[in-house]
Amino acid sequence: MPGNLAVVGGGAPAPALATGAGNASPTFSPLYQQIKALITQSLQSGEWKPGELIPSEVELAMRFKVSQGTVRKAIDELSAENLVVRRQGKGTFVATHHEARAQFRFLRLESDSGETHYPDNRIIDVKRLRAPAEIARSLDIKSGDSVIFIKRIQSFDGAATIIDELWLPGLLFKGLTAERLIEYKGPMYGLFETEFGTRMIRASERVRAIGADADAAALLAIACDTPLLSVERISYSYGDRPVEVRRSLYLTSRHHYQNELG
């Protein structure tokens, strides 16, 4: 009896899955997509935390009452989206920002010479404030809602190269203080993930060229009107929920923004 389980009314205890193949319901989706959604829910809810091992394919297949191949296809997509990482012989792990591997997915600035060590961070300012209209719109919150503002400088080899200004929803990052940010070693997204349970999944960037204003010029130790890369980023967590607005200025005299067009 090949074919489906959650389908035609098939076998045993009806799984929590909506209709499989052979269905014409308006909300139809393939079984593996439903499995993928269920796994994503467990990731989002924190049932399996970043860095942890998730259940094996066989185990998940039993739990969801589908074949291993179907679970496999679901995990394949999650892996392609960088939500999980597969390791042959060991298992499948929840992706985390605490890895050299993940660092550069969200930092496209590279040294012209090729060697790209991780930059030093210096926090300049951290404060709570009411969200300006435009920030609120990007974060999908109400104008005037509490947001946390962070300003910092990143340096390569001692040379100030990046000015970052971040806005985070106050609700999600309640206990975030300057001290915590300063004492923390490692990537900021790692801190957000472990301390606040918010994981950045993907981001969208708008890149422009602008001239340095007086403030930027002072911070980067360059002349006013020096051309800089302006990078406006919105980062999203599970469920395409926007959780960070970041406006950065990149000094590109010895570095460049690297991008691959597939």
- Min dist CB 218 to DNA, Å, is 50
Max Cα distance, the chain (Å) = 75
Positions in the binding site for a copy of itself (CB under 8 A): 80-82, 105-106, 108, 202-211, 225, 227-229, 232-233, 250, 252, 256-262
Token reading at 9: 């009314």
Neighbours of 68 (CB within 10 A): 14
- Min dist CB 127 to a copy of itself, Å, is 27
- Cβ proximity to DNA: between 57 and 193 the closer is 57
Neighbours of 14 (CB within 10 A): 11
- Min dist CB 102 to DNA, Å, is 18
Q: What is the distance between the alpha carbons of residues 85 and 48, in angstroms, rounded to a whole number? A: 13
- Min dist CB 40 to DNA, Å, is 15
- Cβ proximity to DNA: between 33 and 230 the closer is 33
Size of the chain in residues: 262
- Cβ proximity to a copy of itself: between 79 and 146 the closer is 79
Query: Quick one: what does residue 210 bind among DNA, a copy of itself, none, with the CB cut-off 5 to 8 Å set by partner type?
Result: a copy of itself
Helix (H, G, I), strand (E, B) or coil at 216: helix
Please give the size of the binding site for DNA, defined by CB under 7 A. Answer: 35
- Min dist CB 37 to DNA, Å, is 12
- Cβ proximity to DNA: between 22 and 46 the closer is 22
- Amino acid symbol at 194: T
Q: Looking only at residues 73 through 112 of this chain, which bind DNA when binding is defined by CB under 7 A?
A: 73, 86-92
Q: What is the distance between the alpha carbons of residues 165 and 163, in angstroms, rounded to a whole number? A: 7
DSSP per position, 104-125: TTS--EEETTS--PPPEEEEEE
* Residue given tokens 């589908």 in the structure block: 66
Residue 233 near residue 203 (C-beta atoms within 8 A): yes
Q: Looking only at residues 29 through 68 of this chain, which bind DNA when binding is defined by CB under 7 A?
A: 30-33, 54, 56-59, 66-68
Residues that bind DNA (CB under 7 A): 1-5, 8, 20-24, 28, 30-33, 54, 56-59, 66-70, 72-73, 86-92
